[in-house]
């Protein structure tokens, strides 16, 4: 089982700037910047209030305590209490200021991601694992919100607090202040080293979360295969291996965090201890008052959390930067565009119906030098005509049908709908003209009616009833507990393959499209149901221009003409009976009587 479906860009310090990655969040933060700046200011005031407490202690020790003034002591205690309450209230106000707007930022980013995913080309979704996309829309956005709520503010708040605190320390005694300043240089160097190492391991961990999510999702969606083939042990092993890999990476993160936390705690503590010894000696020599020493030590202790938290805040910032990088990897992918290119090739005559002109197609991820899937396909479906596409496996039938609604773009050539190049049409308009039904039907976790009416805008109950009738689905839908309001569940797996296929066909015809593209829409039906669907479908095909991929003679007989695809080229075009007489390959495909492909 593959464990990675999309190339990751594992960051290294030389390839990515943490600040640059986080600055890309500014467009989302800009609308709430006033509340964030206000919250930061409130937090700075609250944090600096803690530095006033040592000054009050100095006054208490050198004043009322030394003089034995009980009233002064009670007054100082009350003053300290008020400072503590004010600090707590201000921090509560800060949390209130940021909670709602940051939840809105996360929701907006998630909505933008979902909207962008809907507009990305099919080639992107073929390349990326769904679990990777899911983890970007959940875990990564949660990490970004947590960064905006806490580290973003407190890196600033703690920085200002440390600067103000050291100013207070130097104002009290500059020699002791120099002692506490000594660890700064080694701490800066160690933080830089930590940041470089933590960046790499954080990216690895978040990519592995995406891989693990993919395995879980695939196992749940494929639970029938897992159980049917008794593969639960191998799936469990695959999950366990990925989980162990993620566990090892998370432990590496924990070791780095433990190392930086120990360093950021030890060095300041050593400096405080040295300052305590030196200060005590100065008090004993009469060079320093006891109140000044108490205030100095209280200030140093008040700075413990701002200093010690630097490693923790840097770690959260690195995780958020990696999350932002992963988020924008998806957001930077180019969406499907309504190209405004000049028309190339063609005869200059205005054709009608559906016209393929010299279509060549390579898949974007095909190896260099590989032959094209489609090679110079010229095909014309006349207005109101049904054309069947027949060919062996890999001949390009499904690929050709996917080009009509622009699920893929041709590498060369053009496709005309009633004489208009589809690349010059807005996709919304194109897809309102062309309706599709795929061989592998996809249903959503919604009601049957909602799934079918997805094929048209503003569909009515009458449209729904007609579409179900065409697809011969009205009987089984009527037997369901809530009829068309019955929820089909994820992927519609509560229904049989034939039932899902009939609902997909109903979705394709519900909007009475001008152009209809059907990729072997009856393959999962039994012969009796197939005959009924074909009879009803003939009525629909009279009013539309249709391209139908067919593998069975019964489906081919729905068509006015047949095109035989072979090796990505049109090998023959004619009626079913003409091709039976003139093409050995077609006769072989339709009858299967010969044991070897005539090619």
Q: What is the pLDDT along the chain (599 residues), one digit of tens a residue?
A: 444 445 444 444 434 577 888 889 999 999 988 888 898 888 888 888 888 877 777 777 767 776 677 777 787 788 778 888 888 888 888 888 888 888 889 899 999 999 999 888 888 888 888 888 888 888 899 999 989 888 888 888 888 888 888 888 888 888 888 888 888 888 888 888 888 888 888 888 888 888 888 888 777 767 767 777 677 788 888 888 889 999 999 899 889 888 888 888 888 888 888 888 888 888 888 787 777 778 788 888 888 888 878 877 888 888 899 899 999 999 999 887 765 444 444 444 455 889 999 999 988 777 887 888 998 899 999 998 989 999 888 888 888 998 998 888 898 999 999 889 998 888 888 888 888 888 777 888 888 898 899 888 888 889 899 988 888 888 888 888 888 888 887 777 778 778 888 888 888 888 888 898 988 777 766 677 777 777 777 877 888 888 988 888 888 888 899 999 998 899 999 999 899 988 888 888 887 544 344 44
- Residues 347-352: contacts with CB within 8 Å, 24+ apart? 350/419, 351/380, 351/416, 351/418, 351/419, 352/382, 352/383, 352/418, 352/419
At CA 433, angle to CA 427 and CA 438, rounded to 5?
85
3-class DSSP assignment, residue 90: helix
The pLDDT, as a whole number, for residue 524 is 62
Q: Tokens for 516?
A: 């209809």
The pLDDT, as a whole number, for residue 564 is 93
The pLDDT, as a whole number, for residue 52 is 80
Write the secondary structure of 517-568 as one string of H (helix), E (strand) and C (coil). Answer: EEECCCCCCCHHHHHHHHHHHHHHHCCCEEEEECCCHHHHCCCCEEEEEECC
Would you say 234 and 155 are in contact if contact means Cβ atoms under 8 Å apart? Answer: no
Identify the H or E element spanning 414: strand 412-417
Measured CA to CA, the distance from residue 198 to residue 36 in angstroms comes to 27
- Which residues lie across from 566 on neighbouring strands? 569
Ordered by where they begin, the domains of the chain are 18-331 (1.20.1560.10), 354-365+372-591 (3.40.50.300)
Residue 292: phi and psi, rounded to 5, are -65, -40
The pLDDT, as a whole number, for residue 233 is 81
| Length reported for the chain | 599
Q: Encode 25-52: b = buried (16+ Cβ within 10 Å), e = exposed.
A: beebbeebeebbeebbbbbbbbbbbbbb
Would you say 150 and 95 are in contact if contact means Cβ atoms under 8 Å apart? Answer: no
The pLDDT, as a whole number, for residue 356 is 93
Q: What is the pTM of this model?
A: 0.72
Would you say 354 and 515 are in contact if contact means Cβ atoms under 8 Å apart? Answer: yes
The pLDDT, as a whole number, for residue 346 is 42
The pLDDT, as a whole number, for residue 113 is 92
Would you say 522 and 555 are in contact if contact means Cβ atoms under 8 Å apart? Answer: yes
Q: What is the DSSP string of 439-450?
A: SS----SSBHHH
- Residues 370-373: contacts with CB within 8 Å, 24+ apart? 371/568, 372/411, 372/568, 373/399, 373/568
Q: Tokens for 286?
A: 């009469």
Would you say 476 and 523 are in contact if contact means Cβ atoms under 8 Å apart? Answer: no
Residue 428: phi and psi, rounded to 5, are -60, -40
Residue 255: phi and psi, rounded to 5, are -65, -40
The dihedral of CA 318, 322, 327, 333: what is its sign?
positive
């Amino acid at each position: 089982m593959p464990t990675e479906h999309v190339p990751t860009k594992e960051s290294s310090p030389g390839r990515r700037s943490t600040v640059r990655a986080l600055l890309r969040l500014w467009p989302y933060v800009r609308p709430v910047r006033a509340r964030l700046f206000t919250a930061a200011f409130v937090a700075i005031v609250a944090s600096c209030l803690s530095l006033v407490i040592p000054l009050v202690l100095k006054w208490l020790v050198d004043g009322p305590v030394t003089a034995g003034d009980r009233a002064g002591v009670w007054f100082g205690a009350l003053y300290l209490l008020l400072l503590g309450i004010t600090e707590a209230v201000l921090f509560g106000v800060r949390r209130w200021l940021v909670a709602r707007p940051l939840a809105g930022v996360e929701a907006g980013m998630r909505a933008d991601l979902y909207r962008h995913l809907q507009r990305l080309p099919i080639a992107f979704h073929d390349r990326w694992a769904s679990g990777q996309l899911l983890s970007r829309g959940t875990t990564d956005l949660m990490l970004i919100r947590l960064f905006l709520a806490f580290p973003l503010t407190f890196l600033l708040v703690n920085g200002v607090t440390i600067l103000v605190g050291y100013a207070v320390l130097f104002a009290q005694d500059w020699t002791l202040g120099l002692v506490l300043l000594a660890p700064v240089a080694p701490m800066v160097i160690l933080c830089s080293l930590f940041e470089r190492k933590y960046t790499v391991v954080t990216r690895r961990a978040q990519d592995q979360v995406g891989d693990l999510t993919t395995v879980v999702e695939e196992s749940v969606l494929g639970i029938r295969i897992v159980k049917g083939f008794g593969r639960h042990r191998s799936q469990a092993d695959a999950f366990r291996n990925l989980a162990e890999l993620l566990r090892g990476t998370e432990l590496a993160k924990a070791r780095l965090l433990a190392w930086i936390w120990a360093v950021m705690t030890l060095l300041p503590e050593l400096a405080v201890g040295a300052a305590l010894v030196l200060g005590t000696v100065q008090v004993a020599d009469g060079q320093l008052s006891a109140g000044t020493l108490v205030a100095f030590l209280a200030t140093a202790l008040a700075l413990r959390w701002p200093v010690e938290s630097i490693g923790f805040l840097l770690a959260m910032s690195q995780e958020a930067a990696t999350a932002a990088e992963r988020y924008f990897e998806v957001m930077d992918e180019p969406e499907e565009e309504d190209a405004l290119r000049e028309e190339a090739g063609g005869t200059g005559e205005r054709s009608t119906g559906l016209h393929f002109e010299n279509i060549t197609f390579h898949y974007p991820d095909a190896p260099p030098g590989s032959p094209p899937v489609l090679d110079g396909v010229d095909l014309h479906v006349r207005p109101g005509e049904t054309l069947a596409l027949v060919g062996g496996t890999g001949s390009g039938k499904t690929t050709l049908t996917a080009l009509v609604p622009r699920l893929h773009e041709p590498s060369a050539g053009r496709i005309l709908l009633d004489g208009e190049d589809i690349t010059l049409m807005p996709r919304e308009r194109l897809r309102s003209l062309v309706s599709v039904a795929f061989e592998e039907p996809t249903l959503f976790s919604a009601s049957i009616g909602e799934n079918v009416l997805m094929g048209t805008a503003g569909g009515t109950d009458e449209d729904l009833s007609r579409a179900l009738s065409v697809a011969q689905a009205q009987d089984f839908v009527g037997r369901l507990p809530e009829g068309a309001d019955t929820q089909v569940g994820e992927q519609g797996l509560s229904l049989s393959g034939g039932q899902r296929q009939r609902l997909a066909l109903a979705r394709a015809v519900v909007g009475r499209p001008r152009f209809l593209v059907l990729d072997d829409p009856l393959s999962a039906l039994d012969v009796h149901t197939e005959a009924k669907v074909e009879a009803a479908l003939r009525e629909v095909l009279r009013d539309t221009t249709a391209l139908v991929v067919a593998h069975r003679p019964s489906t081919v007989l729905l068509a006015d003409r047949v095109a035989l695809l072979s090796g990505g080229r049109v090998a023959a075009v004619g009626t079913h009976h003409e091709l039976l007489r003139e093409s050995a390959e077609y006769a072989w495909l339709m009858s299967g009587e010969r044991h070897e492909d005539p090619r």
